[in-house]
Amino acid sequence: MKVIKAVVHDIEALKLKQLLSIMALKSAISARFLCLVLLPLANGFDAGKVAIYWGQNDREGTLVEACATGKYDYVIIAFLPTFVNGQTPTINLAGHCDPSYGNGCTGLSSDIESCQAIGIKVLLSLGEGRESNSIASTEDASEVASYLWNNFLGGNSSTRPLGPAVLDGIDFDIGSGSNKHWRDLAMFLKGYGMANQSQNVCITVAPQCPFPDPWIGTALTQGLFDFVWFPIIQ
């Protein structure tokens, strides 16, 4: 699992927390101790939700095992690194499954539903920073939102990469490319949820350490995100 994150709703709190994170990560304190120290700090800012990124370490166990620990409120499947610039959207879950072979990653559908059955929200994370993702226009953002809605959320597609399970939302973990039109993408995704009352699409963001975030920063100030994930350990 890549990183545990606690949620922050207030931007000023985010500035303080990012500073604390930088200081702590430069120290020799163990990762376990960092969790114990910084989680109460997050709770002091009306936080209390903990998320885990799952999918990039084949030794982390299955998705359902991660949910069964009882430690997390949100499990974020990581990542969908390729989804813009005319590229074929491709999910990357390291050694867990190969989307281009056999049934691909559709077998995760039952794991997703098992997590949701015990009250855990399951999201898909876009980006991760290794791919240069730039949304060229508002129309491009609309197309990406349509793809995400139909292939991972409450829409319909014959080629859903994770099978028929309906994810609870989308996480933005953008660390490269352009900083334009992420607001548009978030708005379109929210619009799908509002138009289809059967699902409220949860939109979250994992900003980089500098504030304001150089890629997602403008969108972060628009009040579109349900949660901002603050990194505790890496």
pLDDT value for 92: 93
Q: Which of 133, 148, 125 is nearest to 55 (CA)?
A: 125
Residues 190 and 234: their CA atoms lie apart, in Å, by 30
Can you give the pLDDT at residue 233? 53
pLDDT at 231: 72
3-state SS class at 44: coil
**What's residue 205's pLDDT?**
92
* Extended strands (E) in the chain: 4-8, 50-54, 74-80, 121-127, 169-173, 202-205, 227-231
E strands present in 43-120: 50-54, 74-80
Q: For strand 50-54 and strand 121-127, is the pairing parallel, antiparallel, or unpaired? A: unpaired
Residue 194 CA to residue 1 CA, distance in Å, equals 32
Which pTM does this prediction carry? Answer: 0.80
The total of other beta-carbon atoms located within 10 Å of residue 25's CB is 15
* CA Rg value for the chain: 17
The helix/strand/coil state of 154 is coil
Tokens 């978030």: give the residue: 186
What is the Cα–Cα distance from 219 to 105, expressed in whole angstroms? 31
CB atoms within 10 A of CB 156: 9
What are the CA-CA distances from residue 113 to residues 35, 150, 161, 193, 209 (Å)? 28, 17, 15, 19, 33
Question: Which residues have a Cβ under 8 Å from the Cβ of 164 and sit 6 or more positions away?
Answer: 109
Q: 220 with 213: CB under 8 angstroms?
A: yes
Three-class DSSP category at 142: helix
Separation CA 154–CA 145 (nearest Å): 12
Q: Could you check whether the bond before residue 79 is cis, i.e. omega within 30 degrees of 0?
A: yes
pLDDT in tens, the chain (234 residues): 555 555 544 444 444 444 334 333 333 333 333 333 333 333 344 457 899 999 998 789 999 999 999 999 999 999 999 887 677 888 999 989 999 888 999 999 999 999 999 999 999 999 875 556 788 899 999 999 999 999 999 999 999 999 999 999 999 998 888 888 999 999 999 999 999 877 889 999 988 877 788 888 778 888 899 998 877 654
CA–CA distance, 71 with 106 (Å, rounded to integer): 25
Residue 190 is predicted with a pLDDT of 94
What pLDDT shows up at residue 11?
43
